[in-house]
Amino acid sequence: MSLRRQFSSFFIVGSIATATHYSVLISLKELAHWRVIPATLCGFCLGGLVSYVLNRRHTFASDRAHVEAGWRFFTVSAVGFFLTWGLMRLFVVEWHAPYLPAQMVTTGLVMFWNFGANRQWTFRPQSACPAIGTRH
């Protein structure tokens, strides 16, 4: 799949995952009166689950077993989780920005990390990885 088509698919899947994330964030913040950072991190986790399922199948068409792809995705997502925490803390707590615009900027920045890391590492086809111990 071309990089352009793959990124387009990633964007569509990401839009669905982001809608999930934002639904949880807004519901917890506005209806349950949670603080913004815990609410957004809960949304990030649920959106991440949606992202894994849809990206594995539609964007990257991965041949990696769930056992291998799952821990790789979790590792990439953990970095994204802490980026989200740090950026939201900076924007909302330190700079007193409104939480939704802050989340939009954060989502945009974290999206590039997630796409690159998942494309190059998590879901990279096994056939694209040289076998250990082979000479080139």
| Number of domains comprising the chain | 1
**pLDDT single digits (tens) 74-97:** 999 999 999 999 999 999 999 999
- Domain-located, residue 11: yes
Domain-located, residue 134: no
Tracing tokens 């796409």 back to the chain, one arrives at: 115
Q: Is residue 48 part of a domain?
A: yes
Enter the tokens of residue 61: 């068409």
What pLDDT sits at residue 135? 45
pLDDT tens figures, 50-80 = 999 998 888 887 788 888 888 999 999 999 9
In a domain, 133, yes or no: no
Give the range of the structural domain holding residue 57, as residue numbers without chain letter.
3-125
pLDDT tens-digit series, residues 6-41: 889 988 999 999 999 999 999 999 999 999 999 999
* Residue 60 placed within a domain: yes
Q: For the CA atoms of the chain, what is the radius of gyration?
A: 16
Counts of helices then strands in the chain (DSSP H, E): 4, 0
**C-alpha closest to that of 104 among 8, 5, 3, 26:** 26
Q: Is 51 inside a domain boundary?
A: yes
